């Protein structure tokens, strides 16, 4: 039996109109007719206001906008606003000082983007730079960064050929420097880079993303992840129209360096006391990647490419370190 005070259960003492997350419960009427004022109007007005509306109330309005999208559907006639006007209002949420509001704005954009036409409008209004900013910020804002990465995946799904270089640079930056900074989003960013490399290898190659993938191959001693990363590169090598993006003499030799270079040092900041242990870990990752390569037709041809300065005998015997 619940304990009560003055005849009211103790659970009802919570502040009315707020959820556990602090979001204000903003009422939303989904039963209005066509002649009534569009429901989007107060939502977008409150999201765009710089003063007079609390951040938690803006959060409630952004969540209501998503409910409205799911109920009404994607149609400018039903909205009463053009997509450009809606995107401009949602763009302001990504500039808010509260990470919860920024996360809700990213989530609203993810629900809004349904086809290439809307995605082009988002990119034309330069929202991609704000998305990249959300990915770069690392201040206990995992929820915001998670929503940003989910939005990025949605953009790849809609049309990977339109994917902007600004977000690609942010993903690659996290993939390169994340392990040293103990960034929890490193693997998620690397997975998205791999996904993008399969759909739009040109932009990944131009921004150095393939080198980032191979660098993380040496960083990973988990066989399933190591093989998945290596398979992305092998997939590109297997097709003539994508093979040109992989530079065998520069990028592919990264996975062989721990095995063929006696003085290999993956990170110059590694302490001398940990150097031996670090080399063994890199050697194990290198061995996994070589074995994964030799299991594929394209991987078997790597030692025979003219541009790779590799001792074929060493590559074909990956289970023992050369003496």
Let me know if residue 4 belongs to a domain: no
Let me know if residue 278 belongs to a domain: yes
Let me know if residue 16 belongs to a domain: no
Same domain, 323 and 184: yes
Report the alpha-carbon distance of residue 315 to residue 140 in Å, rounded: 43
Q: How many domains does the chain have?
A: 2
Range of the domain at 286: 163-323
Report the alpha-carbon distance of residue 23 to residue 54 in Å, rounded: 10
Let me know if residue 104 belongs to a domain: yes
| CB 228, CB 194: distance < 8 Å | yes
pLDDT tens for the 323 residues of the chain, in order: 443 333 434 333 333 344 545 566 665 656 654 445 556 677 888 888 888 788 888 888 898 888 888 887 777 777 778 899 999 999 999 999 999 999 999 999 999 999 999 999 999 999 999 999 999 988 788 999 999 999 999 999 999 999 999 999 999 999 988 777 788 899 999 999 999 999 999 999 999 999 899 888 888 888 888 889 989 988 898 888 888 888 765 567 777 777 777 677 666 666 676 777 777 888 888 888 888 777 776 665 555 454 444 444 444 444 444 44
Cα dihedral 216/222/226/229 (nearest 10) = -70
Let me know if residue 1 belongs to a domain: no
What length does the chain have? 323
CATH code of residue 88: 1.25.10.10
Please identify, among 137, 158, 179, the residue that sits at the C-terminal boundary of a domain.
Answer: 158
Same domain, 323 and 238: yes
Let me know if residue 6 belongs to a domain: no
Report the alpha-carbon distance of residue 80 to residue 68 in Å, rounded: 13
Same domain, 229 and 292: yes
Please identify, among 124, 158, 192, the residue that sits at the C-terminal boundary of a domain.
Answer: 158
Report the alpha-carbon distance of residue 217 to residue 125 in Å, rounded: 36
- In 3-state terms, what secondary structure has residue 9? strand
Q: Which alpha helices (H) appear in the chain, and where do they start and end?
A: 40-48, 55-72, 76-79, 83-93, 99-112, 116-124, 127-136, 142-159, 165-181, 186-199, 201-206, 209-219, 223-238, 240-243, 257-260, 275-294, 297-300, 312-315
């Amino acid at each position: 039996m619940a304990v009560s005070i003055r005849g009211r259960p103790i659970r009802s003492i919570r502040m009315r109109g707020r959820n556990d997350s602090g979001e204000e419960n903003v009422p939303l009427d989904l039963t209005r007719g066509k002649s009534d004022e569009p429901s989007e109007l107060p939502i977008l007005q409150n999201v765009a206001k710089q003063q007079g509306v609390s951040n938690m109330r803006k959060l409630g309005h952004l969540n209501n906008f998503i409910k409205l999208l799911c109920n009404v559907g994607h149609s400018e006639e039903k909205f009463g606003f053009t997509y450009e006007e809606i995107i401009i209002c949602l763009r302001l949420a990504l500039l808010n000082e509260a990470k919860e509001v920024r996360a809700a704005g990213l989530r609203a954009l993810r629900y809004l983007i349904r086809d290439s036409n809307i995605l082009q409008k988002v990119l034309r209004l330069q929202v991609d730079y704000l998305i990249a900013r959300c990915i770069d910020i690392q201040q206990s804002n995992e929820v915001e960064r998670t929503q940003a990465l989910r939005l990025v995946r949605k953009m790849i799904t809609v049309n990977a050929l339109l994917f902007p270089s600004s977000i690609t640079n942010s993903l690659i930056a996290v993939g390169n420097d994340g392990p040293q900074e103990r960034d929890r989003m490193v693997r998620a960013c690397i997975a998205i880079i791999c996904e993008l490399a399969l759909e739009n290898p040109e932009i990944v190659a131009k921004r150095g993303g393939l080198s980032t993938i191979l660098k993380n191959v040496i960083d990973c001693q988990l066989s399933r992840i190591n093989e998945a990363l290596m398979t992305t590169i092998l997939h590109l090598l297997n097709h003539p129209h994508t093979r040109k993006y992989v530079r065998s003499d520069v990028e592919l030799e990264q996975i062989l360096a721990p095995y063929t270079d006696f003085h290999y040092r993956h990170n110059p900041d590694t302490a001398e006391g940990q150097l031996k242990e670090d080399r063994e870990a890199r050697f194990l990752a290198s061995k996994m990647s070589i074995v994964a390569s030799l299991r594929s037709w394209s991987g078997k041809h790597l030692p025979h490419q003219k541009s790779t300065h590799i001792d074929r005998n060493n590559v074909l015997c990956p289970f023992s370190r050369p003496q």
